[in-house]
A and B are shown apart, each in its own frame.
Chain A
Amino acid sequence: EAGVTQFPSHSVIEKGQTVTLRCDPISGHDNLYWYRRVMGKEIKFLLHFVKESKQDESGMPNNRFLAERTGGTYSTLKVQPAELEDSGVYFCASSQEVLGAAGTQYFGPGTRLLVL
């Protein structure tokens, strides 16, 4: 079974540019999460999709970030315009069910974003 995949693995852009990150969850997983780790700090939640619906986007930093999951399959996270503080590692995770006693989120390899 293929795991969670993310593209690109690395991205270097200049401040003010636009970047789009993509996440392909494990097939059949309705739940898709985006997280971010900035500057070696803790990994922080950004948002959660259930199928194509945004269930919780309380962690989105500001309106420069736009996440979509059309058709309930893969998801994109667009940063426009990018700022220096957006640099970090963006992780995507998926799960078959919302975390319960036995639920587990499976993470992708992350996209390392550097804004110069």
Chain B
Amino acid sequence: GNSVTQMEGPVTLSEEAFLTINCTYTATGYPSLFWYVQYPGEGLQLLLKATKADDKGSNKGFEATYRKETTSFHLEKGSVQVSDSAVYFCALPNYGGATNKLIFGTGTLLAVQP
């Protein structure tokens, strides 16, 4: 089945630093790719997605490009803020019959210091 490998954390950055969280995947075909975020004390939110190769998903200053040749979907942000402190999950669907369950990475904890 499909799988995803995500950069382990925690990642600690100073405010305004550049962020990269690596995510690589193994998949049959070309599934959509997702980044979810969980802020402290909150639930899981969709941050961005890309539905086909070379697509770039973006939201709240975050970007990720669907790279078929490197099977990657790295999350980037040019200038992080304290409010970006959260756990970030890379995910993709595992197509199988009528169920397209999401397969998640282990999550990367990001801590941004002022």
Q: Is A59 an interface residue (CB 8 A)?
A: yes
Q: Which residue of chain A has its CB nearest to the CB of B31?
A: A99
How many chain B residues touch A (CB < 8 A): the figure is: 29
Q: Is B28 an interface residue (CB 8 A)?
A: no
The secondary structure that dominates the B interface is strand
Count of inter-chain pairs, beta carbons less than 8 A: 75
Nearest chain A CB to B54's CB is how many angstroms away? Answer: 14
Partner of B101, one of A33, A104, A109, A110: A33
Q: Is A91 an interface residue (CB 8 A)?
A: yes
Nearest chain A CB to B4's CB is how many angstroms away? Answer: 9
Q: Which residues of B contact A99 (CB under 8 A)?
A: 31-32, 93, 95, 100, 102
Q: Chain A: interface residue count, which band?
A: 20 to 34
Q: Which residue of chain B has its CB nearest to the CB of A109?
A: B43
Q: Which residue of chain B has its CB nearest to the CB of A54?
A: B99
Q: Which residues of B contact A93 (CB under 8 A)?
A: 44, 102
Q: Can you list 13 A-B contacts with CB-CB less than 8 angstroms, sorted by A residue number?
A: A6-B43, A42-B89, A42-B105, A43-B102, A56-B99, A91-B43, A99-B32, A103-B93, A107-B44, A108-B43, A109-B42, A109-B43, A110-B43
Among all A-B residue pairs, the 8 with the closest Cβ atoms: A109-B43, A99-B100, A56-B99, A107-B44, A45-B101, A43-B104, A99-B93, A42-B106
Chain B: residues with CB nearer than 8 A to chain A? 31-32, 34, 36, 42-46, 49, 51-52, 89, 91, 93-107
